[in-house]
Amino acid sequence: MKSNAQRGRHRSLGIIAVVIAVLCLFSVFAIHLIRARSVSEKSDMWMEQAESAEQLANDLAQRVGMTDLMSLNSAQIGKYYAVSNNTAEQAVVYTDATESELREIAVFRVSSKPERDAVMNAVNTRVSAFSSAYNFTNAENTEKKYFVGNSGSYVLLIIGVPYALASEAVLEES
């Protein structure tokens, strides 16, 4: 039979083990949150260093290997994205479509939250409108083939490459 002192010591060791486990778990989550925040800040910093929407679109095209796309003029961008010319400060869209595949990079430079919200709505509408026609968000796909992102001044859309490749290109530092 165990003495009260032994039971107390055993109970204390159990409590200490639980506290250490909780602290370890908290540490893992804290490290993950700090790392995720710094990756986000790095991508924002990289994108914010772009001098124009065109420079950012060209950099992204190089990073994802989509260098043979055609450029849309402002009237075409307005038609494709249902945004007026004054919705964003700058807009660049490179695209190429076949009967079965849509490849596109769109970069919009915005200067306010209302502009960003309007452009994000237009980008999401474009994704919704063409996702079934080009099968880039179909549940049967193992990976979605588009990426939507934004930073302080830019909203971007990449269609036609796996999400993992597009997100890596956006999050990667120059």
Tally of domains within the chain: 1
In a domain, 27, yes or no: no
In a domain, 144, yes or no: yes
In a domain, 140, yes or no: yes
In a domain, 22, yes or no: no
Give DSSP secondary structure letters for 152-163.
Answer: SSEEEEEESS-H
Q: What is the pTM of this model?
A: 0.71
In a domain, 1, yes or no: no
Domain that holds residue 63: 49-171
List, for residues 77-120, the tens digit of each pLDDT value: 988 888 877 788 899 999 998 888 889 999 999 999 999 999 99
List, for residues 48-71, the tens digit of each pLDDT value: 788 899 999 999 999 999 989 999
AA letter at 65: G
In a domain, 130, yes or no: yes
List, for residues 7-48, the tens digit of each pLDDT value: 667 677 677 766 665 554 444 443 333 333 333 455 566 777
AA letter at 144: K
In a domain, 127, yes or no: yes
Helices (H) and strands (E) in the chain, counts: 5, 5
Quick one: tokens of 157? 């859309």
In a domain, 112, yes or no: yes
